Structure 1
Amino acid sequence: MRNKFLSLLLTLTSFTVFSQELTLKETLDNPSKVINDARIEIRVEGGQEPYTYKWSNPSTPLKSNTASGLTEGIPYTVTVTDANGLSVTKKYEVPAQSITEVFNGTTQPIVDAIGSVLFWDPFAAIGIYDPVMHDDSGAPLLHPNGDPRTISVPFIVIWLIIGGLFFTLRMKFINIRGFKHAIQLARGHYDESEAPGQVTHFQALATAVSGTVGLGNIAGVAIAIAVGGPGATFWMILAGFLGMSSKFVECSLGVKYREIHADGRVFGGPMSYLVKGLKARGKEKFGKVLAVVFAVLCIGASFGSGNMFQSNQAFDQLQGQFPVLEGNGFWFGVIMAILVGAVILGGIKSIAKVTEKIVPFMASVYVFFALVVIFMHISHLGSAFTEIFDGAFDPGALKGGIIGVLIQGFRRGTFSNEAGVGSAAIAHSAAKTKHPVSEGFVALLEPFIDTVVVCTLTALVLIFTGAYQGAEGLGGAQLTSAAFGSVISWFPYVLALAVFLFAFSTAISWSYYGMRAATFLFGKSKRVEFIYKILFLMFVVLGASISLGAVLEFSDMMLLAMALPNIIGLYIMSGEVREDLKEYVRKLNANELFRKPKPVKAANKEG
């Protein structure tokens, strides 16, 4: 009898335990060949309702049994917990089917690995500040999945800002005292038609500016203001001023160490000064390693950020305003490739002739409309600047405190003007000049135009109109378009055209950057140049035809990573540039540099 009782008790206990166990059944869905639209639905059996679902995907709420917008081929975890505290964790992966999904899923882990280096936060790692964001009551802000929201000071931003600050101090604020002389050079006051090179000072400037002014000035600024608040504008402007000094150093070196072949082709930029400049200091092997790393990264960035992203976003903006284009990305890409090809097949001279017309035109149009919007809201002038300065130094907790707003501004400023990345030095190497430092002066105007003028005007439009408030669900370009559209109803059409022209000019500039990196790695023959150009045009079509996802993120990181080998070289050679600057200023003040010198008060005498 006792044995029967124990057997019955064991059976009842086993049944109770089994009924309390959580069993998960899943439905995996991949509805299309488009990337990042995978879906996982969980059904729970057993346990006690209600259940919570802790997904590894931050955007999925705790109460949702369905996660959507997932990347195909990437594993996700979910922990389900019932009302009694019982929980179970499982991992799921929606298989990638199309080629783009497979490529995207394969690239994402690489992007995450590179991002863990470039966006590593050294300050948070050593406990200088708490990266968790809090509301005004001190409670931590959470993602929908329950993870805390954090801010970070990315290593790559620190790298670029410290570099800009170092060069500003090392060159004794050349970004301020050299500004007037830079304007005079860009306006052609000191052009030397007989000097070695292929393009004028202004053409080199226009080519380099066209490689930076683009969607980042329109969409990127909107996101920075929406996330960091108006105070981010102040730090963005400061980043632009510091970047002017970085551009001065790298472009001076780009001209100094360039090679000019008998056929007139110019080979310069970081690849040249990293090899030759460090060789002169007994660091030849180290210089070659840095140059090769830079060239590989530059080619990757040219095909992605400087190419596929441009055609992709140009098509996206135009089809948004002209529905007839919808679904015709391939043919749009073909047309854009033909237009780009018609320019780049002619080399840097052809590129410069186009950019010197497109860049001033589009910049003038954009600045004009921005000023119209600002003047229409001129009564908000005082309050807008109060928001900017108060937000810069005393931001609310919801914006991440002063660290959060500072990083939003610095991040947009540094990423927009590419100062320290080294790309502009390739364009400026082709300038007609006998004096390398003179091209450094011209180059320092780029961050001023890109960040201090264009980015700042975009920010002011967003702040004056108040469009950055309540911006949930809007992308950066949509936000800027809405801000302008609140005053000028037909402006979205102008913006779509502007994005296309900016994308076009960026693509032709980056084709030259990537081509020079390719000739450094594979030989300085015209055959290498031709093969690169054909591949570049194929990627223009590809970019307009597919969704980019992790491929674009990978390319963006390659562009930012170019700053690592480049700034190392700039640090080592900064003393040389400083001495060259002293000699240039001495000769300029003594009227010894140019045939027809004009009185110039461009730079104070060195102390």
Structure 2
Amino acid sequence: MYFKKAQRTVLFLLVGLMPSVVCSQEKGLDERINEAFMPFAIWWENLVFSEVILLGSSIPIVLILLLFGALFFTVYFGFINVRFFPMAIRVVRGKYDELEKDGNNDHSGEVNHFQALTTAVSGTVGLGNIAMVAVAISIGGPGATFWMIIAGLLGMSSKFVECTLGVHYRDIDKEGNVFGGPMYYLSRGFKENGQKWLGKLLATIFALLCVGASFGGGNAFQTNQAAAQIISRFGIEGDGTGTFIGILFAILVGIVIIGGIKRIAKVTEKIVPFMAALYVGAALVIIFLNLDRVVEAMALIVTEAFSPKATITGGFIGVMIQGFRRAAFSNEAGAGSAAIAHSAVKTKYAASEGLVGLLEPFIDTVVICTITALVIIIFNMDGAFVYGDVIDQHALLRDGTRVGGVNLTAMAFENAIPGSSYVLVFAVVLFAFSTIISWSYYGLQSWKYLFGRGRYTELLYKLLFLVFTVMGAAITLDAVLKFSDAMILALVFPNIIGLLFLFPKAKEELNIYLKRIRKGYAA
């Protein structure tokens, strides 16, 4: 029944979009797709980022909820993001793997700790680290970087709670396939507390939003920015160029996602370390070549976090909003999506994977986003573009032209090391590809929760996912960013509300794990 309803809904949407796409034959294919998509993107962004007046400024409700949750978990768990950071690294390295071999063998799963981390990291370490940082700095100036770092550090605590609950409440079928994530800890956790209806409602809302997020931020945004880089760096022109690049991406993605989480994990465990080393290595070379400017850049990050010179509405509150908003898109802490990948880990101690999960925001935001920010700020020391003067997410260059997202980062690379922008193109493609395949898994798990686990149900989702892969490469940055940004942050509403009710279970799991470590191992 649900499958038939899904089919009718999809058909209705496609029919509704068709007139807009096929009209105006004088316009190019990419432009027609963009015009059909933009109205919905604007409506959805306005809905998700509804604001309230606080401290004299308009602040999105979703960011208040995100920040409150992260602060609460950080304090409640005794700054677990700092105290347990070394232990988290030891868990990933396999120091406590022997704990899994004693007692009963109830630690079914599909991937190991490192594979779960790389799969989740590949979903978070993506073009948000390259394009979103550029957008944040373009709008909010260097100070936005400071708030991105703060958001990353606090988000580590939220990520711990999400991933711990994800493993604790996961479902494993007779074939050993794992089904986990917020859909399951919301429905099962609230059921334990005697609030079954509320848990089911929040789980359903999350699943619906996660499917949308997998189409948007986890897919369309990635192909959009990858296509933008390929077109810009190689000077490709012509009607439908973005669409054709999207089709190529869809073919490559389709080959991988057919194999499920095990194939995805095998691909990401190879791609993620390589792409991170490639991008971070190139960025560090630029930073070392400009060491005389690094101190000044870091000073700007701190001072303009509170006294911004960028012409941005809301003063430092406006800059803070930009930092938290872009960091949330980048590391997804509080959104709950990564818990879906972490739920597939082979372990019987849920908190062990929670500790692994808290490394993600650190890697993603504190390290990679900060490195990107330094490169862009150093590039702008001579006034290459105007902070705060932004239209449709595009920064204003001094020569009067506008450049947006990943292309601004590419200009910073090229300015520092001629030819390095081509290295960035390769890194961007890898970032986009790894993020897309990870998010395909997140969306599929949510889709199965809504419509069942049948083979045809799964096939329908994958086909729709690949359609958005193509569509993302065709539409503009402004359109895809409005939709993607709002879709991922919308996940915060059901997820954080759930975490604020269920966090005691994460504390219980942490105590169990620490007790076991103290019993037989020196931490």
2:403 aligned counterpart, secondary structure: coil
1:33 aligned counterpart, secondary structure: coil
Distance (whole Å) between structure 2 residues aligned to residue 480 and residue 468 of structure 1? 15
Distance (whole Å) between structure 2 residues aligned to residue 586 and residue 468 of structure 1? 56
Q: Is the 8 A contact 1:241 1:448 kept in 2?
A: yes
1:434 aligned counterpart, secondary structure: coil
CA pair 228-554 structure 1, distance change in 2 beyond 3 A: closer
Q: Which amino acid aligns with 1:392?
A: A
Distance (whole Å) between structure 2 residues aligned to residue 492 and residue 439 of structure 1? 36
Q: Is the 8 A contact 2:225 2:477 kept in 1?
A: no
1:123 aligned counterpart, secondary structure: strand
5 Å-filtered alignment, 1:267-306, equals: 267-306=179-218
5 Å-filtered alignment, 1:344-383, equals: 344-383=257-296
Equivalent of residue 154 in structure 1, options 56, 60, 69: 60
Query: For the aligned residues, what is the CA RMSD?
Result: 2.4
Deviates more, 1:424-433 or 1:371-380: 371-380
Distance (whole Å) between structure 2 residues aligned to residue 163 and residue 372 of structure 1? 37
Deviation of the 1:494 alpha carbon:
1.2
Deviation of the 1:312 alpha carbon:
2.6
Q: Which amino acid aligns with 1:496?
A: V
Task: Identify the structure with bigger relative contact order (alpha carbons < 8 Å, sequence gap 6+).
Answer: 2
Aligned: 1:200 with 2:112: yes
Distance (whole Å) between structure 1 residues aligned to residue 451 and residue 486 of structure 2? 23
Q: Deviations over 1:42-66 (max 9, x none)?
A: xxxxxxxxxxxxxxxxxxxxxxxxx
Q: Is the 8 A contact 2:329 2:485 kept in 1?
A: no
Distance (whole Å) between structure 2 residues aligned to residue 397 and residue 478 of structure 1? 20
Counterpart of 1:168 in structure 2 is 74
Distance (whole Å) between structure 1 residues aligned to residue 488 and residue 46 of structure 2? 16
Deviation of the 1:180 alpha carbon:
0.7
1:486 aligned counterpart, secondary structure: helix
Q: Is the 8 A contact 1:467 1:479 kept in 2?
A: no
Counterpart of 2:52 in structure 1 is 122
Counterpart of 1:387 in structure 2 is 300
Distance (whole Å) between structure 2 residues aligned to residue 325 and residue 36 of structure 1? 12
Structure 1: give runs of 5+ residues left out of the alignment: 1-29, 38-97, 132-151, 592-596, 601-607
Deviation of the 1:357 alpha carbon:
1.0
Q: Deviations over 1:247-275 (max 9, x none)?
A: 00011000000011111110000010011
Deviation of the 1:579 alpha carbon:
2.4
Counterpart of 2:253 in structure 1 is 340
Q: Is the 8 A contact 2:219 2:472 kept in 1?
A: yes
Equivalent of residue 506 in structure 1, options 419, 435, 452: 435
Distance (whole Å) between structure 1 residues aligned to residue 33 and residue 419 of structure 2? 39
Counterpart of 2:126 in structure 1 is 214
5 Å-filtered alignment, 1:62-77, equals: none
Counterpart of 1:438 in structure 2 is 352
Distance (whole Å) between structure 1 residues aligned to residue 351 and residue 263 of structure 2? 25
CA pair 239-548 structure 1, distance change in 2 beyond 3 A: closer
Deviation of the 1:441 alpha carbon:
0.2
Equivalent of residue 530 in structure 1, options 448, 459, 469: 459
5 Å-filtered alignment, 1:406-421, equals: 406-421=320-335
Q: Which amino acid aligns with 1:269?
A: G
Equivalent of residue 461 in structure 1, options 355, 361, 375: 375
Matched residues, percent identical?
55
Q: Which amino acid aligns with 1:498?
A: A
Deviates more, 1:462-471 or 1:499-508: 462-471
Equivalent of residue 265 in structure 1, options 177, 181, 199: 177
CA pair 564-427 structure 1, distance change in 2 beyond 3 A: same
Equivalent of residue 497 in structure 1, options 420, 426, 429: 426
Distance (whole Å) between structure 2 residues aligned to residue 476 and residue 456 of structure 1? 16
Distance (whole Å) between structure 2 residues aligned to residue 421 and residue 274 of structure 1? 13
Q: Deviations over 1:407-431 (max 9, x none)?
A: 2222222221110101001000000
Distance (whole Å) between structure 2 residues aligned to residue 459 and residue 293 of structure 1? 34
CA pair 281-388 structure 1, distance change in 2 beyond 3 A: same
CA pair 396-579 structure 1, distance change in 2 beyond 3 A: same
Q: Which amino acid aligns with 1:385?
A: M
Deviation of the 1:549 alpha carbon:
5.8
Distance (whole Å) between structure 2 residues aligned to residue 390 and residue 101 of structure 1? 41
Structure 2: give runs of 5+ residues left out of the alignment: 1-23, 386-395, 397-401
Distance (whole Å) between structure 1 residues aligned to residue 83 and residue 489 of structure 2? 28
1:395 aligned counterpart, secondary structure: coil
Deviation of the 1:231 alpha carbon:
2.1
Deviation of the 1:387 alpha carbon:
1.8
2:130 aligned counterpart, secondary structure: helix
Distance (whole Å) between structure 1 residues aligned to residue 474 and residue 30 of structure 2? 16
Q: Count residues with an aligned counterpart.
A: 478
Q: Is the 8 A contact 2:335 2:492 kept in 1?
A: yes
Q: Is the 8 A contact 1:35 1:104 kept in 2?
A: no
Distance (whole Å) between structure 1 residues aligned to residue 194 and residue 409 of structure 2? 51
CA pair 388-539 structure 1, distance change in 2 beyond 3 A: closer
CA pair 237-278 structure 1, distance change in 2 beyond 3 A: same
Q: Which amino acid aligns with 1:430?
A: A
Deviation of the 1:525 alpha carbon:
2.6
Aligned: 1:544 with 2:473: yes
Q: Which amino acid aligns with 2:425?
A: A
Deviation of the 1:508 alpha carbon:
0.4
Q: Is the 8 A contact 1:212 1:418 kept in 2?
A: yes
Distance (whole Å) between structure 2 residues aligned to residue 264 and residue 379 of structure 1? 55
Distance (whole Å) between structure 1 residues aligned to residue 223 and residue 418 of structure 2? 26
Deviates more, 1:578-587 or 1:318-327: 318-327
Equivalent of residue 33 in structure 1, options 24, 27, 37: 27
Deviation of the 1:35 alpha carbon:
9.3
CA pair 99-225 structure 1, distance change in 2 beyond 3 A: closer
Deviates more, 1:255-264 or 1:546-555: 546-555
CA pair 556-382 structure 1, distance change in 2 beyond 3 A: closer
Q: Is the 8 A contact 2:88 2:355 kept in 1?
A: yes
Specify the structure having the higher radius of gyration (Cα): 1
Counterpart of 2:501 in structure 1 is 572
Q: Is the 8 A contact 1:34 1:547 kept in 2?
A: no
Q: Deviations over 1:67-93 (max 9, x none)?
A: xxxxxxxxxxxxxxxxxxxxxxxxxxx
